Amino acid sequence: MNYETLTTGFVQLSLNVKKTKFALFSPNPKFRTIPLDASIIINGVNLNRIGNDQAEKSIKFLGIHLYQNLTWKYHISTIRAKIARSIFALNRIKKLLPRDILKSLYFSLEQSHLLYGIQAWGSTNFINQLESIQKKAIRIINNKPYNSHTAPLFADNNILQIKDLYQLQAALFAHDYKNGKLPRSFHHYFTQAHHNLNTRRLNFHHLHQSISRTKFSSKLPTHKIPEIWNS
């Protein structure tokens, strides 16, 4: 059977099997249902598997780095590296430009990386790595010493800290969901909270929060975003 051409509706996608790879994802390798030696062969070509060696354990999809054990450690480390380069440049020019220009550079060179896909990875504990480097940026913008308290600086510059950025973007995502502004693939991503006439606390505006039985599931968007929206 020829799998090279995949037909979906009126669109035909031709795979370049020599450049195609596959990955096995599992939050806990002990309970992996697919064997590590699994292989996929298309038109006689054995696809390379991500995670088969130490050099390549993540796959980049639409700018998001997906790690084989479904943590966001590698993705956040790549964001941190990008922001670190921007901070180096910002530090070199901080005495040449006014604060408003430095803020504009921060929004375009740094916060844009912080916002991209944050609804998916913003609940992870690795976000603390971005919190520390964001504080470096706010000190540079205000030309303050390395040990300056940053909370007043964020407030004075109307810049949200990374954890607040996540809360805001999660709430905006829920708002767009409830108002039908998301792509069709998200139409049934959440469900409405069940309304009980005998319980005044429940509200039609609430989203149903998935039950979390593990630490991993408690960080999933289906659990965290309704939690943020309902609060």
Per-residue burial over 23-47, b = 16 or more CB atoms within 10 Å of its CB, e = otherwise: bbeebeeeeeeeeeeeeeeeeeeeb
pLDDT at 193 over 60: no
Range in 6-10, 54-58, 177-181 the model is least confident about: 6-10
Q: How confident is the model at residue 145 (pLDDT cuts 50, 70, 90)?
A: very high
What pLDDT is attached to residue 2?
A: 43
Q: Evaluate whether 221 touches 229 at the Cβ level (below 8 Å).
A: no
Instruction: Report the run of H or E that residue 128 belongs to, with start and end.
Output: helix 128-141
Q: How confident is the model at residue 198 (pLDDT cuts 50, 70, 90)?
A: very low
* Mean predicted lDDT score pLDDT of the chain: 84
Q: Classify 51 as helix, strand or coil.
A: coil
Q: Where are the domains of the chain?
A: 5-56, 73-167, 178-230
What pLDDT is attached to residue 221?
A: 92
Q: How confident is the model at residue 52 (pLDDT cuts 50, 70, 90)?
A: low
pTM for the model stands at 0.80
Span 76-83, average pLDDT: 94
pLDDT at 199 over 50: no
pLDDT at 77 over 60: yes
pLDDT at 5 over 60: no
Q: How confident is the model at residue 11 (pLDDT cuts 50, 70, 90)?
A: low
Interstrand relation of 41-42 and 48-50 (parallel, antiparallel or unpaired): unpaired
Contacts of 203 (CB under 8 A, 6+ apart): 193, 195
